[in-house]
Chain A
Amino acid sequence: MDKSKSVLVVTIFIFMMVKSFASSIYEKNCLSCHSKMPVKIDKFFYRYLLKYSSEMRVKEALVDYLKNPKKEKSVLQEELLARFGVKKPTTLNDKELKEAVDEYWEIYKVFDKLKGTPKNP
């Protein structure tokens, strides 16, 4: 019984280790917390898009906010900001941060996702 328990613990540990190595910086450092929040991470993306429009400006704004988060820079609504507060500055270095933001953009960008339909009758 003890043996089987210890095998399970080791298996879980190995699984956790593998998982932690396989997941990306974005998944580890961003998604892990955001997925627990009532406001999903994609909603943040569309708010950034609404304010900054182009890829370059969205990424710039994201990086700027993550490195130095401030209430006045946040895209979140007032009431949500009051509820959840401003996050802490990122611990990621510039390279990691860029990688995370790039992945975030690739997942939610609008390009190539819109579908055309024939003209309405």
Chain B
Amino acid sequence: MLKSWDTNLLSSEKKTLFSFFLLYLFFVLILLFILGYLYYNFQKDLVLQKYRIELNRLANEQVFRLKRLHRNFDKQRVYPRDKRFESAIYDSSFKKIFSTFKNSKIDFNRVIYIKNKKVYYIKELESYYLGTKYLVLQVDEDDSWVDRALKNMLLSGVVIFFIMMVFGYFLLWLMLKPMRDAIELLDRFIKDTTHELNTPINAIMSNIEMLERANLDEKVVKKIKRIDIAARTVSNLYQDLTYLTLGHKIVSYDEMVDLKKLLCERLEYFSLFSKSKKIKIKTELKEGVFLKIDIKKVTKLIDNLLSNAIKYNRVSGNIKVTLANNFIEIADSGMGIPQEKLKFITKRYTRANESVGGFGIGLNIVMMIANEYDLKVEITSKEGEWTKVKVFW
């Protein structure tokens, strides 16, 4: 069974994925830009090639006219003009002999080029009529090809971008497969373990309840109590794991829950456990505070907070449980959570302290339930002194 990515991927992993995606996007865009640039230049070359053939023909006509003028220069001194183009003649030292256009900056290193929407074609003459080595022809550029090229680029760009995104998605999927497999394996292992725990725990707990304690020796009762605590701890863990693996699939049955009644019940449930650590529990519970919520889920939330408060408390410590109109607060005098871990404490498999048994799933479950019901969870702590968990609604 594979759960949705949302519950499987931690936010740091999401961040990595996001970075990867951004990088991928960046490279795709660069690739598209280069392709576009190459395509544009290719189109431009094609257009220039067309111009070149046409302009060379016109240039030859002009050369013929220059030749005629050269021969008759003693009688005729009017520069030949053509309505199809503007022209200029330059000598071998690039000195202008005559020009019919204003631009005097000609790039003699190129044969044909486009500048300021004008096409320039430079023909080098073999015989220098009137000293002309370079004949420059200028015509207006027909730039309709630019619109066509841009339209094609945009269309192909979108198609390629889409294909690359699909490709990227599969790449990401491939890259994540080992990680997802590992998470799936862990989840499956927990689920299988959970399933196997159910029967023995129920057997232990029901048998302890059935024991007639009145007839037993005080020492035996004490031992049985310890067994009871241990069994409840395992039972609690079992419920956590069940919630984690199946929780999001369980349909919620929301009802108005009397929180004071529920808190008292849960405190009673954990009393054996807290007494075993000699923890004093102070309560400040307001009457008549109701919340519309699934009772199983709110029980899980409270159980996790209480069990953390007990588990991570010191021997003979204190716990204060407060219930007000819009919040529950559970404060303990435990070992606290280091500041740097506070941010990540609600992530699955994250544990503030390794000295006490656990999987690091308790607060993760609290957050999952809180998120489902739009409850706000505020965790404050001072390392080595106290931890306060406040749940608002």
Contact = CB atoms under 8 A, between A and B. Distances in A.
Interface string B283-295: 0000000000000
Q: Interface size bucket, B side?
A: 20 to 34
Contacts of A53: 91-93, 128, 131-133
A113 B76 CA distance: 10
Interface residues of A, number: 23
Interface stretch (A26-34, A54-62, A92-100): A54-62
Interface stretch (A11-19, A44-52, A81-89): A44-52
Given A46-B73, A111-B97, A114-B97, A54 B131 contact: yes
A114 B131 contact: no
Contacts of A117: 78-79, 81
A119 B79 contact: no
B93 A56 contact: yes
Contact of B77 (A52, A58, A113, A119): A113
A51 B91 CA distance: 11
Contact of B95 (A52, A55, A114, A118): A55
Contacts of A55: 91, 93, 95
Which interface residue of B83, B97, B132 has the most chain A CB atoms within 10 A?
A: B97
B83 A120 contact: yes
A116 interface: yes
Interface string B213-229: 00000000000000000
A114 B77 contact: yes
A109 to B, nearest CB: 8
Point out which of B93, B129, B131 has the most chain A C-beta atoms below 10 A from its C-beta: B131
B103 interface: no
Contact of A110 (B81, B82, B97, B127): B97
Contacts of B97: 110-111, 114
B61 to A, nearest CB: 12
Contacts of B98: 114, 116
30 contacts: A49-B130, A50-B127, A51-B128, A52-B92, A52-B128, A52-B131, A53-B91, A53-B92, A53-B128, A53-B131, A53-B132, A54-B91, A56-B93, A57-B92, A110-B97, A110-B131, A114-B77, A114-B78, A114-B97, A114-B130, A115-B77, A116-B81, A116-B100, A117-B78, A117-B79, A119-B81, A120-B81, A120-B82, A120-B83, A121-B83
